[in-house]
């Protein structure tokens, strides 16, 4: 039950990606598009692109997140509980998306992704994270430091070190391109605190209950009544050679 609740929170608090990001991707694929969404979670990307899809498959190894995603099932959309390296595609796709999961994929996953794409098909790897220099991050970091915790991570720096462009080139994807998009999201006070805590570890169960309650109380005291989060979203794309 707790896992199912976390998956529902994920769907509620992670609201998708900037429209400009999807416009960039679809400008490369055309519409309608067939999609394989790797590490689909609760189906966020498929939910966002539903109107543009000819058919889609979402895969994820987490059974609780797949349970949530399956509410999006239609005759042309389905979900499978499996990892990327174990998935055997039964058709080729125009587009493969990997959102918020790039660093978790083993090398064998890219072999599957390459085989799953049609010739000229597009891989899109993207990641959204809170702006490390926003006012909200400044307030959050004060609470974290007060509790002896690390500040919010600058994911842009970390992602650059992981070198997605280099990995795509290594796996014979050509015409690679990189873009950055910014967006703002307004949360109620309660949901804003939940979203921040999710990013700090409640989403994967790595935070103790005592610490979660303490941070909830202290964040609630320093953050304003409604919470604006500024996000950066980094996108890497490539085409199957």
Tell me: the pLDDT tens digits for 155-184? 777 777 778 888 888 888 999 999 999 999
Which range scores top for mean pLDDT: 50-59, 190-199, 207-216?
50-59
Q: Is the pLDDT of residue 78 over 50?
A: yes
Q: Is the pLDDT of residue 185 over 60?
A: yes
Per-domain residue ranges of the chain:
2-130+154-184+231-240
pLDDT given for residue 5 in this prediction: 55
Alpha-carbon span 198 to 190, nearest angstrom: 12
The token pair that represents 204 in the structure block: 């994967």
pLDDT given for residue 1 in this prediction: 45
pLDDT given for residue 202 in this prediction: 66
Rounded to 5 degrees, what are φ and ψ at 152? -55, 135
May I ask the CATH architecture of the domain 2-130+154-184+231-240? 3-Layer(aba) Sandwich (3.40)
Alpha-carbon span 113 to 92, nearest angstrom: 10
Alpha-carbon span 154 to 211, nearest angstrom: 22
pLDDT given for residue 58 in this prediction: 97
Q: Provide the angle, in degrees to the nearest 10, between the axes of the packed helices 209-222 and 135-146.
A: 130
Q: Which strands, in side-by-side order, build the sheet including 226-240?
A: 77-81, 53-60, 33-38, 93-99, 117-130, 226-240, 173-188
pLDDT given for residue 204 in this prediction: 57
Mean pLDDT, rounded, of the chain = 89
Return the C-alpha torsion angle 36, 47, 30, 102, nearest 10.
Answer: -50
* % of the chain residues with pLDDT over 90: 62
pLDDT given for residue 114 in this prediction: 92
Q: Is the pLDDT of residue 32 over 90?
A: yes
DSSP codes, 97-150? EEES-GGG--HHHHHHHHHHEEEEEEEEEEEEEE-TTSHHHHHHHHHHHHTT-P
Alpha-carbon span 218 to 220, nearest angstrom: 5
């Amino acid at each position: 039950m707790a896992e199912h609740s976390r998956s529902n929170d994920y769907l509620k608090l992670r609201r998708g990606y900037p429209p400009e990001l999807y416009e960039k991707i679809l400008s490369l694929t055309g519409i309608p598009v067939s999609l394989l969404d790797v590490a689909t979670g609760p189906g966020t990307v498929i939910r966002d692109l539903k109107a543009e899809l000819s058919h889609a498959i979402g895969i994820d190894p987490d059974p609780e997140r797949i349970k949530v995603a399956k509410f999006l099932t239609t005759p042309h959309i389905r979900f499978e509980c499996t990892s990327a390296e174990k998935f055997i595609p039964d058709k080729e796709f125009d587009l493969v998306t990997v959102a918020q999961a790039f660093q978790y994929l083993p090398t064998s996953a890219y072999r599957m992704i390459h085989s799953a794409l049609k010739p000229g098909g597009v891989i899109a790897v993207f990641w959204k994270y809170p702006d490390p220099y926003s006012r909200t991050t400044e307030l959050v970091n004060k609470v974290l430091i007060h509790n002896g915790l690390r500040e919010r991570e600058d994911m842009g720096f970390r992602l650059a070190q992981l070198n997605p462009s280099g990995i795509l080139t290594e796996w014979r994807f050509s015409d690679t391109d990189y873009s950055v998009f910014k967006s703002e999201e307004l949360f109620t006070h309660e949901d804003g605190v939940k979203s921040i805590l999710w990013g700090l570890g409640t989403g994967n169960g790595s935070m103790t209950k005592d610490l979660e309650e303490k941070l909830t109380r202290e964040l609630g005291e320093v953050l304003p009544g409604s919470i604006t989060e500024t996000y950066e979203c980094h996108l890497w794309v490539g085409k199957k050679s």
